[in-house]
Amino acid sequence: MNIINVGSTNPVKVMSVRETLEDYYFIKPFKIFPVEVISRISEQPISLEETITGAKNRSKDAFVYCKYSFGIESGLMSVPQTKTGCMDVCVCAIYDGNTYHLGISSAFEPPREVVRLVFEKGMDLNDATHHLGLSANEKVGSAEGLIGILTKNRVTRKDYTQQAIRMALMHLENPSLY
């Protein structure tokens, strides 16, 4: 039995790891354990480097008596020629006790007013989304996420989190190439 720790108790992150790993024979059988850790970065990461650091911190701090630990962090990154200057992305860092294996999801551009609240008022995407009335759910980041609202649930937070997980798992599935 492979023990897999997830450096979060956020149900979307834990469910994303559990459902994604069902497709990977080399990890089965497995048991998932959510581990409450802190990212040791800003509540709302505002660069790709900070988002990667948060994911790595989560995975390393969750690495206790397990085969792999998963750190998942979403954050904004600078993207030239966009309307707001940035996009939101999800990073997955899998830690095996020695090496980090990174994956990044597709990115999306949050609305201008959401980005303004993040940079001018210091809100995170969850609070800015709720503050603007885009969702009545005060914990939208633990549900469909802003991406789910903007895509009318065609792509949810779970979907884009799973993209990042799959991109990181690519390293473990093809070790001779990495």
Domain count, the chain: 1
pTM of this structure: 0.95
Q: What is the pLDDT of residue 47?
A: 97
pLDDT in tens, 161-178: 999 999 999 999 999 999
Does residue 140 fall inside a structural domain? Answer: no
Q: In the prediction, which pLDDT does 43 show?
A: 92
pLDDT tens across 43-61, in order? 999 999 999 999 999 999 9
Instruction: Look at residue 94 and tell me if it is in a domain.
Output: yes
**15-24, 49-58, 130-139: which range is least confident on average?**
130-139
Residue 143, pLDDT above cutoff 90 = no
In a domain, 117, yes or no: no
Return the closest-CA partner of residue 108 out of 154, 66, 62.
154
Share of the chain above pLDDT 70, in %: 100
Instruction: Say how far apart CA 44 and CA 50 lie, in whole Å.
Output: 9
* 34 sits in which H/E element: strand 30-34
For the CA atoms of 6, 7, 8, 14, what is the dihedral angle to 10 degrees?
-20
> Which pLDDT does position 141 carry in this prediction?
82
The mean predicted confidence, pLDDT, of the chain is: 96
Q: Which two tokens stand for residue 143?
A: 């549900």
Domain-embedded: residue 24: yes
Q: Is the pLDDT of residue 140 over 90?
A: no
Across residues 12-25, what is the average pLDDT? 97
Question: CA 112, CA 29: separation in Å to the nearest integer?
Answer: 44
Residue 137 belongs to a domain? no
Asked whether residue 10 is domain-assigned, the answer is yes
User: What residue numbers bound the domain in which 78 lies?
Assistant: 2-106+156-177
Residue 145 domain-assigned (yes or no): no
Q: What is the CATH number of the domain that holds 82?
A: 3.90.950.10
142 in any annotated domain:
no
Q: What is the DSSP letter of 151?
A: T
- Is residue 107 scored above 90 in pLDDT? yes
Give the H or E element holding residue 121: helix 112-121
What gap in Å lies between CA 68 and CA 94, rounded to an integer? 6
